[in-house]
Structure 1
């Protein structure tokens, strides 16, 4: 519980902000063209979250990410609210973006539906 609260606080602090940075207008076109391995567009970046290093991991060639449990939690986290409940979610192989990360931060596009949370798109960052 404490780790989840700490993680969300860290996520909020490091940036569950809009993915396209208004100081980096050169990335807007890049975000608009991002698509998963099935060819589906990820959106313009406004629905993505920046993840800190403690909110994603790789085991072999499989990724998993920690994201808010509900769409309401996602909206609260994006607005900067603390204490949002999170869960680990496996990233499907076809959701991984297969091009270099020009934003230099890990990005995830969570998708909320009747079966819970899944990942629409994921751009890995670097783990240091």
Structure 2
């Protein structure tokens, strides 16, 4: 019985990550595609694997108490430090890869902008 519960729990967790993913081929020929696909957060989770990145406007991200935060679905979400991409941002604009847990937005990955 315990094994069945573990399998069901694992399936539920996997479904959370795939619920909002889509790869419609729009960027298949983009020279930036390999770079985007190489991005991982500090936990080693690939940013683009199951979540679409969104470029943010300057008014939709900032810092508070030493942490980044982003506005997703009209609410501010604190970015966990292990979700921040620290390599240089090749496009300059801040990007967030959101996911949803129990209907609430969370951050899979976040790459700050150049702040220029």
Q: Output the TM-score relative to the length of structure 1.
A: 0.63
Whether the aligned pair in 2 keeps the contact of 1:28 and 1:44 (CA below 8 Å) is no
- CA drift at 1:88: 0.4
**Larger Cα Rg: Structure 1 or Structure 2?**
2
Structure 2 portions without partners, runs of 5+: 1-22
Give me the whole-angstrom Cα distance separating, in 2, the residues matched to 1:46 and 1:25: 18
TM-score, structure 2 as length reference: 0.69
Q: Name the residue aligned to 1:96.
A: 84
Are 2:40 and 2:46, in contact at CA under 8 Å, matched by a contact in 1?
Answer: yes
1:54 is paired with a residue whose SS is: helix
Structure 1 spans left out of the alignment, 5+ residues: 1-17, 69-85
Greater relative contact order (Cα 8 A, min sep 6): structure 1 or 2? Answer: 1
Q: How many residues align?
A: 91
What does 1:1-128 correspond to in 2, within 5 Å?
A: 22=27, 25-43=30-48, 47-59=52-64, 61-68=66-73, 86-114=74-102, 116-128=104-116
